[in-house]
Chain A
Amino acid sequence: MSLLAPTATTERLTVDDLSVRFTVGHTGSLFRRTPVVLKAVDNVSIALEPGSSLGIVGESGSGKSTLARAIAGLADPTEGTIRLGTTTLRSRRNRVLSRRVQMVFQDPASSLNPRRTIRSMLRELLLVHHMEKQSTVDARIEELVGMVELPTSVLDRRPRGLSGGQRQRLGIARALALKPELLVLDEPLAALDVSVQASVLILLRKLQAELGFSMIFISHDLGAVRGICTEVAVMYLGRIVEHGPVRDVLADPEHPYTRALIAAEPSLDNPRVPGSSGLVGEVPSPVNPPSGCTFRTRCPLAQPACASAPPALLAYATGRADHRVACFVANDEI
């Protein structure tokens, strides 16, 4: 089967109440040590229809990378489930299951094994999974490399001599070699030059259209998300604070954090006064987050009642079922 044929079946991704917690140390005396727990992901639920793309936006400490890793199988969920169709995905996946979800990493400098040629890396993947035979694997590899718009001459090189853009394309080729249903991309453009970002983004769009996989696109860059995703979820301290269609969320943000995020983005044609995004202070430590709504310590709309409990993702503020906000004030709950 040609690599360019769409994936056989792409199923729905369902994430239910996912939490990922890490123990990062201990406090207390020698005999009464309490673990210090970091809640990287706190009760996140997502439903992703086959073939669509979800952007997950957030800043440092938002938990977006941990969420991506949990979905890809690199981090252990502490609570909650991740399902593709009806199959539950745990962090230890057998070979067959590992084909269904693949990942593209952020840093082109460390995402390829420096001691191996590209060819040997791709061959290993395809042969171990019995997707190709010795006789057919090289043709398939050349097809893969052509798919990411690189010449076949890169196959016999080691990553060292390749540019960031080329390496990132190869990372995409590697991820797509196993014909996954779901591609998780962790800030794939962040380490690339601006002029290279555009071409990689175009490539991803083209590949998704042709191959039909679902995509989760982690980014701090709203512009990139706007360019490639159909829906977006904004994360803050491990929780989703707003979730909806890209156009809606970016044009009509309801959550004060989303608004600050958009306002803080420098604009070329409509420059705002520097510092006017209105967000004061620093992100609280994920080890000791504020009670109730974690954003309340920096929120211009904060009320005393915001400390009572974490707000739920509801659609009252927008009146549209697919655009939900986790804010008591926005949803008129206070």
Chain B
Amino acid sequence: MTGAIAMLRLPRKKRAVRHRSSKLWTGTSILAAMLVVGVIVNLTADPIAQDLTQRLIPPSLAHPFGTDELGRSVLIRALAATTLDVPLAIGAALLPAILGTLLGLLAGYGGRIADTVVMRLGDMLQAFPSYVLMIVVVFIIGPGINAFLIAIATINWVAYARLVRSQVLVIREMDYVHAARIGGLGGARVALRHVLPNALPQVIVYLAADAVLALILLSGLSFLGLGVASPTPEWGLMINQGRLFVQSAWWLTVFPGLMIVIAAAGFSLISDALDDWSRV
């Protein structure tokens, strides 16, 4: 049966590719569209402009998302925040991914001592609730984007390291790795050019999903007042500032929240598509 099914696999490829890339296309289009709109909005409108005569107006034709307590258009601010939030989410997922991947590769391939050191370090970090740690780091460095990125990189790498390490432990027993070693290729070359590329697909999938979480994390930190500072438009910050009015002016929190959801959907679709791709 294995033989028969193997032969029958041939026609599948054409259809599968089309199906896969539609998810990728949709997800990327969503994010790309958001970014393009955000850039345009930032260039043409002023998200900080206040108009105290227009405070707290519910959604209307003139202000589709309503206005906030300082008369600023929620629509303009929500769209403008895209250029900050989306790249930041990507970066906030990318940094720990890079750090974690390298450390995971080291742990999995670099010998028992490296493995022990990296893993125990990871254990220690994970013993603390990550949110608390991040708050501490941001608090020490001072609120702002840089602090946020440093905090997230130094705390979130552990999951990536574990993921890569477990992949590497399997891959390094594969015959093609043995063949590379017997072929006289040096350790670093084998690790970086033979082992790592085969561990990356999983990382990429995780990364795309992590971007969603990073986004929410940033929003959460801003919500707590430790992320971006007012008056910069940022979804979490907008939600934070709007929570005082959650019952009377629901549009202050709902629309930024909606933007988060849409961006998260975009990332999820991409992550899902990459997952399909990695399974080939």
Instruction: Give the size range of B's interface with the partner.
Output: 10 to 19
Main secondary structure of the interface of B (DSSP, over half): helix
Select which of A95, A107, A128, A160 is within 8 A of B175 by beta carbon: A107
Contacts of A115 in B (CB 8 A): 197-198
Select which of A73, A116, A128 is within 8 A of B182 by beta carbon: A73
Contacts of B19 in A (CB 8 A): none
Contacts of B176 in A (CB 8 A): 110-114
Cβ of A224 within 8 Å of any chain B Cβ, yes or no, is: no
Select which of B182, B189, B197, B198 is within 8 A of A98 by beta carbon: B182
Bound together, the chains give a CA A210 to CA B162 distance in angstroms of 49
Cβ of B174 within 8 Å of any chain A Cβ, yes or no, is: yes
Query: For chain A residues 96-130, which have a beta carbon within 8 Å of chain B?
Result: 96-99, 101-103, 105-107, 110-116, 124-125, 128-129
Cβ of B179 within 8 Å of any chain A Cβ, yes or no, is: yes
Cβ of A220 within 8 Å of any chain B Cβ, yes or no, is: no
Q: Is the CB of A110 within 8 A of B184?
A: no
CB A130 to nearest CB in B, in angstroms, measures 11
Contacts of A114 in B (CB 8 A): 176, 198
Contacts of B184 in A (CB 8 A): 93-99, 128-129, 178
Mask, A257-273, CB within 8 Å of B = 1, is: 00000000000000000
CB A221 to nearest CB in B, in angstroms, measures 19
Cβ of A72 within 8 Å of any chain B Cβ, yes or no, is: yes
Q: Is the CB of A105 within 8 A of B185?
A: no
Select which of A103, A124, A175 is within 8 A of B185 by beta carbon: A124
- Given A110-B174, A113-B198, do A174 and B185 touch, yes or no (CB 8 Å)? no
Q: Is the CB of B179 within 8 A of A98?
A: no
Cβ of B178 within 8 Å of any chain A Cβ, yes or no, is: yes
- Given A114-B198, A115-B198, A124-B193, do A105 and B178 touch, yes or no (CB 8 Å)? yes
Q: Is the CB of A74 within 8 A of B178?
A: yes
Contacts of B193 in A (CB 8 A): 124
Closest to A101 in B: B182
Bound together, the chains give a CA A128 to CA B280 distance in angstroms of 30
Cβ of B129 within 8 Å of any chain A Cβ, yes or no, is: no
CB B273 to nearest CB in A, in angstroms, measures 19
Q: Is the CB of A103 within 8 A of B179?
A: yes
Contacts of A111 in B (CB 8 A): 175-176, 179
Bound together, the chains give a CA A72 to CA B183 distance in angstroms of 10
16 A/B residue pairs, CB under 8 Å, sorted by A = A73-B182, A97-B184, A103-B179, A105-B178, A105-B179, A107-B175, A111-B179, A113-B180, A113-B194, A113-B197, A115-B198, A124-B185, A124-B193, A128-B183, A175-B179, A178-B183
A contact set with B: CB distance below 8 Å: 72-74, 93-99, 101-103, 105-107, 110-116, 124-125, 128-129, 160, 171, 174-175, 178, 193
B contact set with A: CB distance below 8 Å: 3, 174-176, 178-185, 189, 193-194, 197-198, 280
